[in-house]
Amino acid sequence: EAEVAQSPRYKITEKSQAVAFWCDPISGHATLYWYRQILGQGPELLVQFQDESVVDDSQLPKDRFSAERLKGVDSTLKIQPAELGDSAMYLCASSFPAGGQETQYFGPGTRLLVL
C-alpha cells in the first residue's frame, strides 16, 4: 500500500542553524500539506500546496520558514534560523481532490529538537 514518506525521522539541531525536511506524497496526490504539531496539541497547518502552487500559507512564519514543491511532487520545508520554539513534530500529508471530502494520508513525521 502506498504511503507518504518523510525524512529524516528525527533531527537535533542547535538554534540559529538551518534545517530541512523532505516529504514524498502518495503518487497522484495533487494536494500536499505540511503541519506542525507541538507536544500536547493537535496538528496545525503550516502550508498547503495544490500541485506546485501554494494554496494557503497564512500560518507559515515566513521570516524563517519556507516551503517548496517545485515539480508538484515531493516537497521540502526549511527553517532558517531554527529557534528553540520550533521544537515539534512536523507532519506531511497528501490527498487526492474529492470535492471537500478528501482523506488526508499522513507521513510518519519528523521530530525536531532545537537545542
Partner 1 sequence: AQRVTQPEKLLSVFKGAPVELKCNYSYSGSPELFWYVQYSRQRLQLLLRHISRESIKGFTADLNKGETSFHLKKPFAQEEDSAMYYCAPHNQAGTALIFGKGTTLSVSS
Q: How far is the CB of 36 from partner 1 (least distance, A)?
A: 11
C-alpha span between 112 and 6 (Å, rounded): 13
Select the residue interacting with partner 1 from 45, 52, 68, 73 (CB under 8 A): 45
Q: Which of 82, 105, 110, 114 binds partner 1 (CB under 8 A)?
A: 105
Q: Closer CB to partner 1, residue 6 or residue 79?
A: 6
Q: Please tell me the distance from the alpha carbon of residue 75 to that of residue 92, in angstroms, as a whole number.
A: 9
Give the integer Cα–Cα distance in Å for 47 and 61. 10
Task: Give me the least distance between CB of 37 and partner 1, in Å please.
Answer: 8
Q: Cβ(9)–Cβ(107) under 8 Å?
A: no
Contact between 94 and 32 (Cβ < 8 Å): yes
List interacting residues with partner 1 (CB under 8 A).
3-4, 33, 35, 40-45, 48, 55-56, 91, 93, 100-101, 103-109
